[in-house]
């Protein structure tokens, strides 16, 4: 099984040590993500302190940037990592794009599709030396002169993974991306009923092999929340952190479908109301244990790998372990080793 981890980013000074420890723990890939800090800078540093682990963003906020800025940073990190970089992109929601980043928002699925195609067109121009001529509805790139052309990348172009939640954005991954990063708010049921069908539609639209086809190279990475601990205190902290995280997700309309799949759609208005009142801690009491255990994989460290296998069987053999609010200080070493024993 291919195992990734989303790396805590609150303390930038720990980047040199953390990524090296994660590589030593046996992970196949380490993801940064965009929250309080830039998602790309830690990977440039990590590239100098690791040797083999793949490095990527899960996610960088696509609409805060343009195809050209993303093409540049992706090309450079592919070089700095020696071909180990994966560009993971997500849209964020409209208020953050327009009010935090002061960037345009419209037609997010169509815009994401075009942004990915724009990045690829730029990379193709650099690789082949042909004229850059990308003209879309949202992005236009028609000027490239030698002074700004880095030329071919000796390691080839990076993979592009997209992320999303609704069926249209999920289908975009199947149509134009190299893979899809499933949002951490997921369950086996939501994967089977919401995620996989949308990806299959996108793959069919593009005439690409279906998931499960031996010729398919599509990277479906199930970002999965894990609750575990080696002591009762660690376990409780991990579990309650996830309860708060799920309450936060439930206050956002875009995430309601997973709640509805599990007959919890009626929680959204109450969670939204409490969030508006600033009751971020108190609202977690609305998340019951059954729903928490539908979304998160909950168990003792030695149980987690088998639970993940059962959850993802027949869906994907690629997982990314995450608990952003209570990251495991030991990086789930035994879980990673056990997961690697599952045939790829």
Nearest to 32 by CA among 68, 101, 97, 81: 81
Is residue 247 a part of any domain in this protein?
Answer: no
- The one-digit pLDDT tens for each residue of the chain (344 residues) are 999 998 877 788 888 999 999 999 999 999 999 988 999 999 999 999 999 999 999 999 999 999 999 999 999 999 999 999 999 999 998 999 999 999 999 999 999 999 999 999 999 999 999 999 999 999 999 999 999 999 999 999 999 999 998 999 999 999 999 999 999 999 999 999 999 999 999 999 999 999 999 999 999 999 999 998 888 998 998 999 999 999 999 998 889 999 999 999 999 999 999 999 999 889 999 999 999 999 999 999 889 999 999 999 999 999 999 876 666 656 678 889 889 886 65
Is residue 76 a part of any domain in this protein?
Answer: yes
Is residue 263 a part of any domain in this protein?
Answer: no
Is residue 257 a part of any domain in this protein?
Answer: no
Q: What's the pTM?
A: 0.93
- Show the domain range for 125: 2-227+298-340
Nearest to 323 by CA among 244, 254, 219: 244
- CATH code of the domain in which 182 resides: 3.20.20.30
Partnered with residue 219 across adjacent β-strands are 179
Query: What total of structural domains would you count in the chain?
Result: 1
Is residue 275 a part of any domain in this protein?
Answer: no
Cα distances from 256 to residues 15, 92, 109, 178, 241, in angstroms, run 34, 16, 18, 27, 20
């Amino acid at each position: 099984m291919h195992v990734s981890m989303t790396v805590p980013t609150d303390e930038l000074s720990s980047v040199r040590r953390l990524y090296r420890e994660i590589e030593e723990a046996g992970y196949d890939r380490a993801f940064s993500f965009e929250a309080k800090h830039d998602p790309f800078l830690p990977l440039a540093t990590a590239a100098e302190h690791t040797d083999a682990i793949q490095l990527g963003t899960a996610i960088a906020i696509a609409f805060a940037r343009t195809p050209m800025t993303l093409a540049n940073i992706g090309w450079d990190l592919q070089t700095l990592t020696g071909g180990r970089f994966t560009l993971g992109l997500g849209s964020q929601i409209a208020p953050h794009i327009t009010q935090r980043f002061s960037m345009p928002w419209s037609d997010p699925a169509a815009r994401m599709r075009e942004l990915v195609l724009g990045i690829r067109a730029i990379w193709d121009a650099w690789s082949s030396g042909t004229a850059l001529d990308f003209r879309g509805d949202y992005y236009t790139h028609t000027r490239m002169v030698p002074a700004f052309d880095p030329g071919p990348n000796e390691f080839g172009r990076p993979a592009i993974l997209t992320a999303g939640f609704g069926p249209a954005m999920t289908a975009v991954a199947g149509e134009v991306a190299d893979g899809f990063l499933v949002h951490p708010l997921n369950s086996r049921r939501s994967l089977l009923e919401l995620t996989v069908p949308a990806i299959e539609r996108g793959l069919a639209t593009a005439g690409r092999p279906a998931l499960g086809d031996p010729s398919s190279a599509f990277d479906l990475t199930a970002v999965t929340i894990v609750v575990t601990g080696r002591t009762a205190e660690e376990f409780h902290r991990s579990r309650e952190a996830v309860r708060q995280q799920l309450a936060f997700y439930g206050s956002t309309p875009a995430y309601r479908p997973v709640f509805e799949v599990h007959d919890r759609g009626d929680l959204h208005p109450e969670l939204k109301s409490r969030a508006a009142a600033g009751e971020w801690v108190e609202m977690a009491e609305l998340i019951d244990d059954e729903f928490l255990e539908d979304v998160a994989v909950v168990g003792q460290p030695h149980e987690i790998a088998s639970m993940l296998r059962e959850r993802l069987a027949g869906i994907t053999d690629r997982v990314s372990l995450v608990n952003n609010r209570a990251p495991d200080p030991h990086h789930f070493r035994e879980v990673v080793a056990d997961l690697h024993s599952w045939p790829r």
